[in-house]
Amino acid sequence: MRTSQLYAPTLRETPAEAEVVSHKLMLRAGMIRKAAGGVYTYLPLAWRTLRKIEQIVREEMDAADGQEIAMPILQPADIWQETGRWAVYGEEMFRVKDRHDRDFCLGPTHEEMVTTLVRDEVRSYKQLPLLLYQIQNKYRDEIRPRFGLMRGREFIMKDLYSFDKDEAGMNESYQKMYDAYTRVFTRCGLKFRPVEADNGAIGGAHSHEFTVLAESGESNIVYCPKCDYAASDEKAELKTIEAPAEELRPLEKAATPGAHTIELVADYLRVPVEKTIKAVAYQTEKDEVVLAFVRGDHEVNEVKLQNAVGAIALRMAEDAAIRATGGEPGFMSPIGVKEGTKVVVDATVMAMKNAVAGANEADVHYINVTPARDFAGALVTDIRLVKEGDPCPRCGEPLKMTRGIEAGQVFTLGTKYSEALHATFLDENGKEKPLVMGCYGIGVSRTMAAAIEQGNDKDGIIWPRAIAPFEAVVVPVNAKEPAQLSLAEKVYEEMKAAGIDVLLDDRKERAGVKFKDADLIGYPLRVTIGPKAVESGVIELRVRRTGEKEECRPEDYLARAKALLETL
Ligand code: ATP
Ligand code: MG
* Nearest CA, atom 6, ligand 1: 409
Please name the residues in contact with 472: beta carbons below 8 A apart, sequence gap of 6 or more: 495, 500, 501, 502, 503, 523, 524, 525, 526, 527, 561, 565
Tell me what pLDDT residue 202 has. Answer: 55
Query: What's the rounded Cα separation, in Å, for the pair 39 and 145?
Result: 9
Closest C-alpha among 120, 151, 119, 122 to residue 138? 151
Q: How far, in Å, from the CA of 318 to the mean position of ligand 2?
A: 30
CA–CA separation, 133 and 183 (whole Å): 17
Closest to 406 (Cα-Cα) out of 220, 189, 211, 184: 211
Axis-axis angle for helices 167-187, 44-63 (nearest 10)? 140
* CB-based contact 453:214 (threshold 8 Å): yes
Taking the chain (568 residues) in consecutive chunks of 10 residues, what is each chunk's mean pLDDT?
95 88 96 96 98 98 98 98 92 96 98 96 96 98 92 98 97 97 98 89 76 92 92 91 92 91 92 95 94 96 94 93 92 90 96 95 94 93 94 92 96 95 96 97 98 97 98 96 94 97 96 96 97 91 97 94 96
Shortest-distance Cα residue to atom 31 of ligand 1? 443
Question: In Å, what is the CA distance from 504 to each residue of 277, 438, 491, 539?
Answer: 66, 45, 9, 15
Dist. CA 218–CA 350, nearest whole Å: 32
Pairwise CA distance, residues 40 & 152, whole Å: 8
The reported pLDDT for the residue numbered 218 is: 87
Q: Ligand 1: distance of its center to the CA of 365 in Å?
A: 43
Q: What is the pLDDT of residue 550?
A: 96
Pocket of ligand 1 (CB under 6 A): 109, 140, 142, 151-152, 155, 157, 406-409, 441, 443, 445-446
Contacts of 139 (CB under 8 A, 6+ apart): 73, 94, 105, 106, 107, 108, 153, 154
Q: 357: which strand partners?
A: 366
Q: Do 445 and 156 touch, CB atoms closer than 8 A? A: yes
Helical packing angle, 557-566 and 482-497, nearest 10°: 50
H or E, element range at 526: strand 525-529
pLDDT for 63: 98
Whether residue 367 contacts residue 252, with contact meaning beta carbons closer than 8 Å, is answered with yes
Strands of 364-369's sheet, edge to edge? 252-255, 364-369, 355-358
Gap from CA of 209 to ligand 2 centroid (Å): 7
Nearest to 348 by CA among 238, 261, 251: 238
Burial class (CB in 10 A: 0-12, 13-18, 19+), 494: middle
Question: What gap in Å lies between CA 440 and CA 116, rounded to an integer?
Answer: 18
All structural domains of the chain, each given as residue ranges with its CATH number in brackets, are 43-236+401-453 (3.30.930.10), 252-381 (3.90.960.10), 470-566 (3.40.50.800)
Position 524 scores a pLDDT of 98
Taking CA atoms only, the protein residue closest to ligand 1 atom 26 is 151
Q: How far is the CA of 199 from the centre of ligand 1 (A)?
A: 13
Residue whose C-alpha is closest to residue 470's, from 511, 422, 513, 504: 504
* DSSP classification of residue 390: P
CA of 408 to the centre of ligand 2 (A): 7
Who contacts 112 (Cβ-Cβ below 8 Å, separation ≥6)?
A: 75, 79, 80, 82, 83, 85, 417, 421
Which residue among 155, 192, 439, 452 is best mutated to probe the pocket of ligand 1, counting the most ligand atoms within 8 A of its Cβ?
A: 155
pTM higher than 0.85: yes
For residue 398, the model assigns a pLDDT of 94
- The answer to whether 526 and 475 are in contact (CB under 8 A) is yes
Of the candidates 151, 188, 186, 180, the one whose C-alpha atom is nearest the C-alpha of residue 52 is 188
- Residues with Cβ within 8 Å of 447's Cβ and at least 6 positions away in sequence, in order, are 53, 185, 188, 190, 212, 407, 408
